[in-house]
Amino acid sequence: MSNWSIREANEANIERLIELRLALQDHMERCNSRIWRLSAQGREGAGEHLSQIFSDENAVIFVAVSDDGEIVGMIIGRIETSDKYVPSTAGTIRLLFVSESWRRRGIGSGLVRRLYQFFASRGIEAISVRYVVGNDEAVQFWTKIGFKPIIITASKRFSDLEQIIAAEDKIKPLEKS
Ligand SMILES: CC(C)(COP(=O)(O)OP(=O)(O)OC[C@H]1O[C@@H](n2cnc3c(N)ncnc32)[C@H](O)[C@@H]1OP(=O)(O)O)[C@@H](O)C(=O)NCCC(=O)NCCS
């Protein structure tokens, strides 16, 4: 079985990071057809967005690299600070992706552990992650390492809303609130 190791990413890795970022997007869009999709412009801008992370002192990208030098996984984390909330300092996991043929070998957990070290060095009090409803492997993965859902984002298409408003208009005029 091939081995792998984890290191911090650098700007020379950008092309591969874009591939993994877009592969994650495709995966999420397959898992749930209702999520907001990345536009052509969003896809083109993925590289610029990732490049900005290298100059953000509160963010970091770690990659898993196979013995033959291929980047087979990545994780992005960022520290968020706000006096308006308790906890005031939290680590957010922005992206986690492992190439399909490299899964179930501990790479995902290894990347998360490496990010924990970065978060711990910056004194965070909590860690959060978002994943798409319908992404069953993400549910299994995050649940296994102790993450519990706290917020659900629900969504409705405006076209559905227009039909409901039109139907209600036939029954009674809209009440003013
Ligand atoms: C989720 C993901 C990052 C896991 O990476 P990985 O390298 O396979 O994870 P690990 O090998 O460290 O798995 C750790 C544990 O998580 C659980 N797990 C991971 N993938 C699972 C799956 N497909 N089904 C069930 N349990 C799973 C298992 O308990 C596993 O331990 P085990 O292999 O000893 O049973 C990877 O499947 C992936 O990139 N998926 C597509 C992108 C994605 O969903 N990213 C997360 C969204 S934020």
Indicate which atom in ligand 1 lies nearest the CA of residue 104: 11
Indicate which atom in ligand 1 lies nearest the CA of residue 97: 39
SS3 53: helix
The closest residue, in CA terms, to atom 4 on ligand 1 is 108
**37 C-alpha vs ligand 1 centroid, how far in Å?**
23
Taking the model in full, what pTM does it have? Answer: 0.92
- The burial of 44, by beta-carbon neighbours within 10 Å (0-12 exposed, 13-18 middle, 19 or more buried), is given as exposed
Most ligand 1 atoms within 8 A of CB, residue of 4, 137, 144, 147 to mutate? 137
Count the Cβ atoms, other than its own, within 10 Å of residue 160.
Answer: 9
Tell me the pLDDT band of 161, cut-offs 50, 70 and 90: confident
Question: Cβ distance 115 to 60 under 8 Å?
Answer: yes
Question: Cβ distance 20 to 102 under 8 Å?
Answer: no
63 DSSP β-pair partners? 7, 74
Cβ of 105 below 6 Å from ligand 1: yes
Cβ of 27 below 6 Å from ligand 1: yes
Q: What are 12-52's pLDDT values in tens digits?
A: 999 999 999 999 999 999 999 999 999 999 999 999 999 99
Task: Look at residue 172 in the predicted model and tell me its pLDDT.
Answer: 64
Cβ of 142 below 6 Å from ligand 1: no
Task: Look at residue 35 in the predicted model and tell me its pLDDT.
Answer: 93
Cβ of 140 below 6 Å from ligand 1: yes
Q: What is the dihedral of CA 157, 160, 161, 165, to 10 degrees?
A: 170
